[in-house]
Amino acid sequence: MVNITHKNSTLRKALAEAVLSVSSQDTIDAIVNNKVPKGNVFEMSKTAGLFAAKKTSDMIPDCHPLPIEYTSIQFEIRDLDIYITSEIHTIYKTGVEVEAMHSASVVALTMYDMLKPIDKNIEIRNIRLIEKKGGKSDIKDSGEGIDASVIVCSDSIFAGKKEDKAGKAIISSLEKNNVKTNDYVIIPDEVLEIQNKIKSDIENGIDLIMITGGTGLSKRDVTPEAVRPLLDREIPGIAEAIRSYGQLRTPYSMLSRSLAGMIGDTLIIALPGSTKGAEESMDAIFPGILHIYKILNGGKH
């Protein structure tokens, strides 16, 4: 199966449809009046659809097992056509489109099986996804027009003893979100160095400043101390999202002192210095974090 461990759990919805066509009004009347020999067609097929929604991953090899938290199966009769809709909700890392279509399909197949003794010309058609919601595809905020600066705070990398990977990982993530990296520097983990670089970026009109490194607990980790006094207002929810996301992947995330806030209209985010920590932090907050620029522009971005 596809690796989805990097994804966030969000509310996901899907609505699917199948159409079952019968050959005569007598069949419709038998369904409506509960005269079908095998039993109540709507109730039996609805039950089958509920089972199918929950068992999709058992039938479709690449589907992930996921919690089905809401299912609604509805029927609408239009002449000799019965429109079946299956709506499914979950809070998980991947969508429920296949679950909804599988559910609608099994409802239709169950109806076929129950009706075939009284109607030999039943047809199932137009199994399709009507609508899906949730996940990153629903986030319309784009990084186009946003200029970023990536600052790597590390004494050892600055001295040439280590290679920077975290900063490059951040740049790669920014590119995926259409954010242009205007500047990329490596500086020592020193308060004045960090503050002077931030002030310079602000003067140059940078929209987003990403800092990696110096957020741990050692005596040399001074990034939060350097950044916090400069902030006009802190945005604690960003750091909380980063830590919450990371905690599900490593117990050490609780030790991170990630920090985020605004200086004027510039967003500053301080991330862990490890490559994995930086990558996971970017996965945790992008592209949702870009919505802040829409807010700053009065709803336009």
HEC profile of 240-274: HHHHHHHHCCCHHHHHCCCEEEEECCEEEEEECCC
Domain termination site, one of 137, 165, 180? 137
Alpha-carbon distance of 221 to 202, in angstroms, equals 23
Residue at a domain's end among 102, 137, 172: 137
Same-domain pairing of 131 and 171: no
Q: 72 or 137: whose pLDDT is higher?
A: 72
pLDDT at 39 over 70: yes
Predicted pLDDT of residue 296: 83
Q: What does the block give as tokens for 256? A: 């991170």
Residue 137: pLDDT band (50, 70, 90) is confident
Per-residue model confidence (pLDDT) at position 299 = 54
Does residue 201 sit in the same domain as residue 158? Answer: yes
Q: Lowest-pLDDT range, 43-47, 93-97, 254-258, 271-275? A: 254-258
Q: Do 102 and 151 have their domain in common?
A: no
Determine the pLDDT at residue 269: 97
pLDDT digits (tens, 9 = 90+) for 144-186: 999 999 999 999 999 999 999 999 999 999 999 999 999 999 9
Burial class of residue 300 (count of CB atoms within 10 Å of its CB; 0-12, 13-18, 19+): exposed
pLDDT of residue 24: 97
- Supply the mean pLDDT for the chain: 94
* Residue 295: per-residue pLDDT: 86
Residues 63 and 60: their CA atoms lie apart, in Å, by 6
E-only strand ranges, the chain: 10-21, 70-78, 81-92, 123-133, 147-153, 180-187, 208-212, 233-234, 259-263, 266-271
Are residues 163 and 251 both part of a single domain? yes
- Rounded CA-CA distance 104/173 in Å is 38
Residue 268 belongs to a domain with what CATH number? 3.40.980.10
Which of 113, 147, 155, 183 is labelled catalytic? 113
| Confidence check: pLDDT of 96 > 70 | yes
How confident is the model over 265-269, as a mean pLDDT? 97
Per-residue model confidence (pLDDT) at position 301? 47
pLDDT of res. 188: 94
Which residue from 27, 35, 30, 53 is spatially nearest to 107, judged by alpha carbons?
Answer: 53
Residues 179 and 205 in one domain: yes
Instruction: For the chain, give the longest Cα–Cα distance.
Output: 85
Residue tagged 């620029």 (tokens):
293
Note the pTM of the prediction, 2 decimals: 0.82
Please give the pLDDT value at position 300: 53
Q: Average the pLDDT over 249-278 and give the result.
A: 93
| Confidence category of residue 239, pLDDT binned at 50, 70, 90 | very high
**In terms of residue numbers, what domain contains 286?**
147-297
pLDDT score for 294: 86
Q: Tell me the three state secondary structure of residue 44.
A: helix
Phi/psi for 262 (5° steps) reads -115, 140
Q: Are residues 231 and 205 in the same domain?
A: yes
Q: Does the annotation count 113 as an active-site position?
A: yes
